[in-house]
Structure 1
Amino acid sequence: MAKRAYNFNAGPAALPLEVLQKAQEQFVDYKGIGMSIMEISHRSSEYEQVNDSAQALLKELFGIPDGYKVLFLQGGASTQFTMIPMNFLAAGTVGSYIHTGAWAEKAIQEAKLFGEVSVAASSEADNFKRIPALSDIQLAPNSAYLHLTSNETIGGSQFQQYPDTGNVPLIADMSSDILCRPVDVSKFAMIYAGAQKNLGPSGVTVVILREDMLSLVPKNLPTMFSYATHAKNNSLYNTPPAYSVYMVGLVLEWIKENGGVAAMERANREKTSLIYKAIDDSNGFYRGVVEPGDRSLMNITFRMNDEELEKKFAKESEQNGFVGLKGHRSVGGLRASTYNAVPYEACKALAEFMADFQARNS
């Protein structure tokens, strides 16, 4: 087999090699039925088993308590930015948001199309180099919910703890850090995540929804934009992204086989510490973008003092088999996305390349 790239793409992102190989084995003939999983009816017993087992595995691995629905939807996390206020931001209530960067901003702008929005806390004044302190959160009276972005993929910051919102439903976009560490799901009324970073390929979005939230959904919503539709129909109201859900199931099996979410966290901390150490030990040659206490386990952002040097780093890294190390076009710089499926060896190789590049360019 050809040597695989060191894949640090931010999304779509690395998938476990074992998952890709298993999918390859089953691609033409899924479990002896004479068809690919992409060819079968979503009403078939074979696909219902794929759908149900993926839900059950996610509940098991993430410790999702009774009283929650797992939904597989389409349209990415960006569609959830719209569906959340459509379903839960009733007249006379306020959508409260914590502003931590680019993805939080998109959620805030979509909510403003549907009702009143309050920014409960923000790190914009600090150029999003930190996560706001939990003590700084000011919930608006009559808040319908508090929304946060657990991990800012572009900026590289991550919540280390989550706020206690009492009776106000807490909603989290965990697109880029779901299953990277254990989380107390019972704190949340809703968690959602596009699959293409830590769960599988693009095409499916996971929504974990506390069932009592369904009583808040208006009856006059367009059918496909109502959570009630998808909850009632077990995510099978319309044709689902069958292959993406199947791949999510394989990734969840891989996580289970490799020790579960706690083991993922241990591995993530071990491998990302290699890269953060390369930054911190560089005497300022590399500079971390985010304050150390709020650094992400999933997206490591860093800069150099010279943009031309950053371009040289990006070019040479590509020549050495590293993919995806340019920062997002909106902020520049450099970024290594170290999702669950990125192996320790890739992070070790990157840390060694960084040290070598510094030695040659200091």
Structure 2
Amino acid sequence: MGPLEGLRVLDLSSVLMGPYATQILGDYGAEVIKVEAPSGDLVRQILPTRSPGMGAMFLNTNRSKESIALDLKTPEGRDVVLRLARDCDILLTNVRPRAMARLGLSWEALSEANPRLIYAALVGFDQRGPYAGRPAYDDLIQGGAGIPHSFIRAGQKPSYVPAAIADRIVGMSAVNAILAAVVERTRSGLGQKVEVPMFETMTSMILADHMGGLTYDPPVDEGGYRRHLSPDRKPYETRDGHVCALIYNDGHWERFFREIGRPEMPAADPRYASFAARMAHIDEVYAELGEIMKTRTTAEWLELFDRADVPALPMHSYASAMEDPHLEAIGFFETVEHPTEGRIRQMAVPAQFSRSPARPGKPAPGMGADGATVLARAGYAPEDIAALVEAGALKLPQED
């Protein structure tokens, strides 16, 4: 039994941010009911896929859940959500608050149905500001939080990180906030609304590194952490590839220079003499180190770094990460049988619990695959379920 066994989550989210958060909750043992529109979560369509509506990204963001397909624009569909919410601990949505209110599914309506409900709204922007009603996507939030600017400061063209890091990071932040509300409920006995905004969450994360001199009033510089913004902070080119290494503290540098036959360093060069000196000359330090790294092969450097106890890893591709000996040893990638997609790989839950181990409960569901089961469990008779289908409020798989 996972650590969140006994918690029930009603997931009214789509795309990545909300579904990633509810997948974590499901992996930790919560029962997650994913409510999809009759057309399904858009991410189902992202390629590659073996069969329609079951794309790889969907499979990797929606395991440990059940799926029910409801048209929330119908009164019957709304009523189903209200009924399900009465027996849930958490409702999570990334639908904009105004749209949720139009559907009759605002915090006020849901808390009336279940005063113990934790209503988690994942929003683009803090609802007290002028951006409140705007749509938000990962690319926009990366830009607003200063990530492309960081690339410019590092001497590169403005770019987005090639991963949906805002969606994923805010999803994880939402899990933190939701579980804090669960803990508080054990004291008060009451639910509450929790809003987690993308813009503010990501700005807080990026500027924690890069506010720098802007921290002070008046500012002492234009902000930015020099080491992170050094143009040579990147995987080092070796004789036959690349390697990722971080020679960081005094001990690392002393052992590194000893291993390459230059034990007189760093005492002989004041730029290497201390952490502060290296930070003051970080561009020169990284550039010189980059030239040294070209003199040996990747394997030779990894062996040397291991011997010197200097942090280093291979620069993996997506495919080679699956062959990493450490990840293989702990069984991080597991092959499972999906009921419709055949054999698929899935990643393990990274967190380890000594008494209540967390692991994926089930593979990602087909759209609406669990609708009849979810409703029957909530007390709907077969004729009630048939009536919902007839009204267009519920879509079951056999309709396809």
* TM-score, structure 2 as length reference: 0.24
* TM-score, structure 1 as length reference: 0.26
Rg comparison, structure with higher value: 2
